[in-house]
Structure 1
Amino acid sequence: MKTTRPYAMTTRAAAAEETRHRILRSTLALSAEKFTLEIALADVAERAGVTTKTILRHFGSREGLFDAASDFNRGEIEQERAAPVGDLPAAITVVVDHYEERGDWVMRMLSQERSDARAASVVGIGRVVHREWVATTFRPQLERVPSVEREAAVDLLVVATDVYTWKLLRRDRNLGRADTEQRMCALAQSVVNQWAARGHTREGDEVT
């Protein structure tokens, strides 16, 4: 019994974690199909193949479930958006990959932010995450910008790499993935190049 009990406990813990992840993924999948306010625990339970009681046992309440789903989603997004620092073309490829996967879901959440406090919280966190991603990913380029103008440069890079920019090109203009990426890359490159054109970079530096 001493040798089988730890194994049984580990198996149960793994099964519980798998159930938890399935519930969270089902919640996020439903949020791509319905407004957040319309999603009931019964909907999540049906999608996840569990009972409402199971959801409450794992998360305590509907609010607890959505809080956990938001944290889970943020963790996945941060992993998806990890990009080589200072490599502008690679960063654009990474962020477009992310938008190809989640951009329509993000736009759906944005459409709800004025009517749903939870959606507003999710997209508010998303804006912070995106700005931090820009500041980190383009740090070598931003370090060449005078400190008094650095926030403006971050603002412009946020716009060049934002989900709205992707939507404008990919959905509104109906451009292909490659053309969308090329245009976003050109926008970002023009931002980092403008300080070089104004003579703010060190002599001999190349802004890339």
Structure 2
Amino acid sequence: MARWAPDTRERLRTAAMALFAERGFQATTVPDIVARAGVTRRTFFRHFSDKREVFFGDDEIPAIATRMIETAPAEEAPMHVVLDGLRRLAAERFDPRRDQVLAARRIISEEPDLRERDLRKQEDLRAAVRDGFRRRGEDDRTARSVAGLTVLVLQTALETWLEDADGTPLQDHLDATVDRVTGLLDTGR
């Protein structure tokens, strides 16, 4: 078995995702995953704490959000910082992996435990954005509002992007979601 290969983590993830799609999340065991990946059980646990971490173990998005907020020009409006960051994230991390993201989202949507973990990850992003804008000097209400809108826009755009069979880039769905939210908030005052 190629236990020390540099691509072990990705091989485990690929094997797990294929098995989840074939058998379902609940019916797939760690021994099934390691057998498919050609590694040992011990190797699996070096990379993941459990099979749920196959989906959530590499969630760097809150850290990316923190860095994005810290490095943005001080005079830039909070939502411009967020939207620029989301557009970059879409182009660099989501669009190139559309098929993988789509497969993962399908499995997550079918499993209550995974949906719960996904909600916690959304909360992690919300907290990172909120805290980042507080450190920039925004008042608490503004920071919380921007954080909530960030998660709303990202999740809504992801949903429409994944439902879109035409392959429209995620950035276009982000812009459409922002337009929709802006329209909903326009009270005509």
User: TM bucket by the smaller chain?
Assistant: 0.5 to 0.7
Q: Which residue pairs with 2:150 in the alignment?
A: 157
Largest Rg, 1 or 2: 1
- CA drift of 1:93 comes to 1.9
Unaligned runs of 5+ in 2: 73-80
Q: Could you tell me the percent identity over the aligned residues?
A: 15
CA distance in 2, matches of 1:89, 1:42: 42
Query: Does residue 85 of structure 2 align to residue 91 of structure 1?
Result: yes
CA deviation map 1:122-153 (0-9, x unaligned): 3233222332343356x279854x53454344
Residue from 23, 44, 49 that aligns with 1:67 = 49
Residues 1-208 of structure 1 aligned to structure 2 (within 5 Å): 15-16=3-4, 18=6, 21=9, 24-30=12-18, 33-34=21-22, 35-50=24-39, 54-55=40-41, 57-58=42-43, 67-71=49-53, 74-78=56-60, 82-83=64-65, 84-85=68-69, 86=72, 87-97=81-91, 98-100=93-95, 101=97, 102-114=100-112, 117=113, 119-135=114-130, 139=133, 143-144=137-138, 146-148=139-141, 150-162=143-155, 164-172=156-164, 174=166, 176-177=168-169, 178-184=171-177, 186=179, 190=182
Matched-pair contact (CA < 8 Å) for 1:80–1:94: no
- CA drift of 1:37 comes to 0.6
1:107 corresponds to which letter in structure 2? Answer: R
Question: Root-mean-square deviation (CA), in Å?
Answer: 4.3
CA distance in 1, matches of 2:48, 2:129: 27
- CA drift of 1:173 comes to 7.8
- After TM superposition, the score normalised by the length of structure 1 is 0.55
Unaligned runs of 5+ in 1: 1-13, 199-208
Q: Larger relative contact order (C-alpha < 8 A, sep ≥ 6)?
A: 2
CA distance in 1, matches of 2:32, 2:180: 42
Specify whether residues 32 and 90 from structure 1 end up closer, same or farther in structure 2 by C-alpha distance, changes over 3 A only: farther
